[in-house]
Amino acid sequence: MTAGGWNEGRAADFDASYALDLTEFAAFIAATQPSLVEPLGLGEESPTRHKFLARLQGEITKRGIVHLLRNGVEHLGNHVDLYYPTPTDGNADAAAKFAANRYTITRQVHHSISKPGDAIDLVASVNGLPVFTFELKNSITKQTVDDAVQQYQRDRDPRDPLFGFGRTIAHFALDDQRVKFSTQLKGKASWFLPFDQGYNDGAGNPPNPMGIQTDYLWRRIIAPKSLAGIIENYAQIVEERNPRTGKKTRKAIFPRYHQLDVVRKLLADVAANGAGQRYLIQHSAGSGKSNSIAWLTHQLTETTHGGKIAFDSIIVVTDRIILDNQLTQTIKSFLQVGSTVMHADRSGDLRRAITAGKKIIITTVQKFPYILDDIGTEHRDRTFAIIIDEAHSSQGTKTSAAVSRALAGIESADDEEVTFEDEINAIIEGKKMLSNASYFAFTATPKNKTLQMFGNPVARLDGSIGYEPFHSYTMKQAIQEGFIMDVLANYTPVGSYYRLMKTVADDPEFDAKRASKKLRAYVEGNEHAIAQKSAIMVEHFLDQVIAKQKVGGQARAMIVTSSIDRCIQYFHAVRDALAERKSPYKAVVAFSGEHEYLGDNVTEASLNGFPSRAIAEKIQQDPFRILVVANKFQTGYDEPLLHTMYVDKTLSDVLAVQTLSRLNRAHPAKRDTFVLDFANDAEAIKRAFDPYYRTTVLSQETDANKLHDLINDLDGFGVYTTEQVDEFVERYLAGVDVAELYSILDASVTEYSELLDEEDQVKFKGDAKAFLRTYNFLSTVLPYGSVEWEKRSIFLDNLVPRLPAPREEDLSFGILENIDLESYRAEKAVAMQIVLEDEDGVLEPVPATGGGLGSDPELERLSAIVKSFNEHFGNIDWEDADRIQQRITEEIPRLVSQDEAYRNAQANNDPTNARVESDRALSKAMFSLIADETQLFKAFQDNESFKHWLEEAVFRATYKKSA
């Protein structure tokens, strides 16, 4: 017997035609169901045997191996059990049957009929039926997990029975440091995802003092007891129907490591502590919370505490009117659970569900208060698990949000968005946490109230009590592992975009005049701002997203606007800009309710020409490519084709994270994302992400000349010649055989290995990756190109993966992909600050006192404003600094203080409203100066720090003076 309870199988016993270990299968049947040996023909080679094996193979192909292991197979009036499940406590007969399951791992299995010499490293089988395959690599042979992935993609034919869809549960590629898996092989299109534990809140695995870093896969994941849990409770094939075409597709589901880990830890805690607990699960957006909730919900129905079922009912709370099909279908697909699920859509449904013996009750946030009332009064003698899913918090109407706020007792200003999380917190806050219920709260971005309400209390060194999640899967880890995209990697404020144009405007190799003209029009022609910004967006989308085949040519974009009025204006302006470019693509608009526009009442349906419920489906289809939104779809919208976002709305805190995260869903053809922001600056976005995102890399202003410098440095190493680059690119574009390409690359690999010492190898490889990253970014942002840059990009993109890793590079996994060596040296202090910020994000507690402006404002003298202005903005190259100071200290305060609405707010002793009116009056004053003070107006529009400073300075200088 091998380690972990597995026996070693014999490769000679594997039948490639039927993809099973016939000896082990026959032995299992003979030991557990001896009366079937003869009817199935398992005693000897015969037509009877082939008839049964053909039936078995056909059922596995049709339903998948997991279904057959759970349910067995029918053949000519005989029921054949293929696997015995985990026994309940005290059931000796079931325990004996479970012990009869046979677990084998077989080395070098010859799997191919057409290529009998081909062999896969390992096959793991249960009762002779393969459940996992493995390709193994190790650092001794200088091969990695990625080589194993490529072997699956290149050498394993999905037409071989062993590799057919559903024939096994998963295919694992691994080395001694990392693990990846795929549930379906599709040749080169096979998509492998990491199955690592995570390390320091990022990707990878922690050091293992007992052996190699990946031995957890053998000891904890596929050990027989763990594998039984995966077969019985996690692995699944689901069928999804396209509502537009009616076509059905099947998808295999297998838990990622963090999903398996959180569900198992929650179940263990329930078994130990029973009802009355609180759990906060902070899992990044795109981490698969729906499936995690489904797996948890199903297994909580059978979890015991103290010898009794822990919960009488499981209540799943969602803000979606109907829980998405995948979640419901996944819950219902497990053993003996389908008939126990009910939706509590009306008052009284909970009572009827409990009476009818429904174990799982799904409800919406709107009905949740009634359910809490019932739990706290009529059903005090029962126990409940309440699972809260915050995944899609933006799709409801204003009406439903208002109902929720009324039920929750929430009062909020019009400009403060109340999220689903706020509603849930307020509902529960209004009632005591129930001792007969456990709460399981899933969120990607917990607020301070959420942490205190559901988090684990932790004693601090100073004696205070803090709170932390029960389990976390960070945004940092999700990005590093490729589960989601890094939406901040290509975040560009408009000011940076504009300055990028200017830095290279005089370079004869490029033509940036067209983009620069539109950008100047934006800052200098306010009455046409929306039209000009729309033209910038459309031009960027067509030239940099569509033309460059982002997401395999399927990329979509979203325009985030600040109001319904602005949303409708943008929709018309974008439509006009597309028509002006004679583009075949169209825009879709999304907002709630009916709204007046140019004298007519319009809805999103009347503008789009199709029902509101079809928006999410239509944007996936051509010709619809750009989604213009006001609040709707801004959070919770899950669309992997979404690549680019244009933001013209002030974002802060959680809303900024949730909004930009609409871009983060991974797709096999998605390599990057892009944000062009007209309303926020990089620092504000960074502050919003910091508490939830361990490390933040923002691409701000990138000097295009750096690419020239990098090329000069790379050329100087002598690893390649210009002639080799040209020859490689010509062959590459001609589509020659890969062997002809490798001959050129291998010559450079030899030069790199023999010519350069380790220090220069690190420098060359780092510079090459810096070039590729910087060029990829600039080619996305700038509306021009360079032949030489593109040739180097093609050549280096193919060369870098073939370069052996220098020893220093192994000191920190992925460091060269994530830093630019030149900028690191030049900005050492900044790099150190980023390292310090790679810590747990800390939120301040909920304030115990009220806020607002005091009744005795601090009035600043004009000289103090001048001093503050010079300290903060004296480094700006003002065209006439003295004149700007005069405008700021005299003319602008005078215009603001004369505003009638502002004067009325002061007269009513209403400082909060006065500040709102002061800021509005300031914006009006700035617009009046646009013709004379273009530079000042541009700073006010583009520089968020300057805008905030001026708003504060003007308010301090004018409040109470004119009352």
Looking at the fold, whether 260 and 398 belong to one and the same domain comes out as: yes
Among residues 211, 238, 265, which one ends one of the domains?
238
CB atoms within 10 A of CB 341: 21
Distance CA 795, CA 741 (A): 10
Kindly state whether residue 250 falls inside one of the protein's structural domains: no
Q: Over 50: is that where the pLDDT of 586 sits?
A: yes
Half-sphere exposure of 190 (CA within 13 A, CB side): 29
Kindly state whether residue 500 falls inside one of the protein's structural domains: yes
Point out the least confidently predicted range of 198-207, 352-361, 414-423, 767-776: 414-423
Q: What is the dihedral of CA 253, 254, 255, 256, to 10 degrees?
A: -110
Q: What is the pLDDT of residue 550?
A: 92
Looking at the fold, whether 290 and 371 belong to one and the same domain comes out as: yes
Distance CA 938, CA 930 (A): 9
Kindly state whether residue 850 falls inside one of the protein's structural domains: no
Model pTM score: 0.66
Looking at the fold, whether 543 and 612 belong to one and the same domain comes out as: yes
Closest CA to 940 of 908, 906, 892: 892
Looking at the fold, whether 465 and 433 belong to one and the same domain comes out as: yes
The 10s digit of each residue's pLDDT in 87-144 is 988 899 999 999 999 999 999 999 988 888 899 999 999 999 999 999 999 877 788 9
Looking at the fold, whether 869 and 774 belong to one and the same domain comes out as: no
Q: Over 80: is that where the pLDDT of 450 sits?
A: no
Looking at the fold, whether 565 and 675 belong to one and the same domain comes out as: yes
Query: Residue 159, class by beta-carbon neighbours within 10 Å (0-12 exposed, 13-18 middle, 19+ buried)?
Result: exposed
Looking at the fold, whether 686 and 796 belong to one and the same domain comes out as: no
Contact (Cβ atoms closer than 8 angstroms) between residue 448 and residue 844: yes
677 strand-pairing partners: 493, 647
Point out the least confidently predicted range of 253-257, 433-437, 580-584: 433-437
Looking at the fold, whether 505 and 546 belong to one and the same domain comes out as: yes
Distance CA 926, CA 891 (A): 10
- 125, 733, 751 from 791: Cα distances, Å: 48, 10, 20
Distance CA 320, CA 311 (A): 24
Looking at the fold, whether 82 and 220 belong to one and the same domain comes out as: yes
Looking at the fold, whether 222 and 263 belong to one and the same domain comes out as: no
Closest CA to 907 of 960, 849, 846: 960
Looking at the fold, whether 407 and 285 belong to one and the same domain comes out as: yes
Beta strands 119-126; 129-136: pairing state:
antiparallel
3-state SS class at 657: helix
Average pLDDT of the residues in 644-657? 86
CB atoms within 10 A of CB 34: 9
pLDDT band at 217 (very low <50, low <70, confident <90, very high): very high
CB atoms within 10 A of CB 811: 8
Count of structural domains, the chain: 5
The 10s digit of each residue's pLDDT in 536-563 is 899 889 988 998 899 999 999 999 988 8
Kindly state whether residue 857 falls inside one of the protein's structural domains: no
Among residues 776, 801, 836, which one ends one of the domains?
836
pLDDT band at 740 (very low <50, low <70, confident <90, very high): confident
The 10s digit of each residue's pLDDT in 49-79 is 999 999 999 999 999 999 999 999 999 989 9
CATH code of the domain containing 429: 3.40.50.300
- Structural domain boundaries, residue 641: 485-692
Kindly state whether residue 337 falls inside one of the protein's structural domains: yes
Kindly state whether residue 697 falls inside one of the protein's structural domains: no
pLDDT band at 373 (very low <50, low <70, confident <90, very high): low
Looking at the fold, whether 539 and 450 belong to one and the same domain comes out as: no
Contact (Cβ atoms closer than 8 angstroms) between residue 183 and residue 252: yes
Instruction: Render the burial of 832-865: b for 16+ CB within 10 Å, e for the rest.
Output: eeeeeeeeeeebeeeeeeeeeeeeeeeeeeeeeb
Please name the residues in contact with 851: beta carbons below 8 A apart, sequence gap of 6 or more. Answer: none
Kindly state whether residue 146 falls inside one of the protein's structural domains: yes
Distance CA 788, CA 143 (A): 33
Distance CA 278, CA 470 (A): 9
Closest CA to 708 of 615, 619, 774: 774
Query: Residue 654, class by beta-carbon neighbours within 10 Å (0-12 exposed, 13-18 middle, 19+ buried)?
Result: buried
pLDDT band at 216 (very low <50, low <70, confident <90, very high): very high
Contact (Cβ atoms closer than 8 angstroms) between residue 450 and residue 442: no
123 strand-pairing partners: 106, 133
What values do phi and psi take at 457, rounded to 5? -70, 140
**Largest Cα span, the chain:** 104
3-state SS class at 515: helix
Average pLDDT of the chain to the nearest whole number: 78
Kindly state whether residue 698 falls inside one of the protein's structural domains: no
Please name the residues in contact with 366: beta carbons below 8 A apart, sequence gap of 6 or more. Answer: 400, 403, 404, 407
Among residues 419, 439, 473, which one ends one of the domains?
473
Distance CA 612, CA 605 (A): 5
CB atoms within 10 A of CB 896: 26
Beta strands 103-110; 7-8: pairing state:
parallel
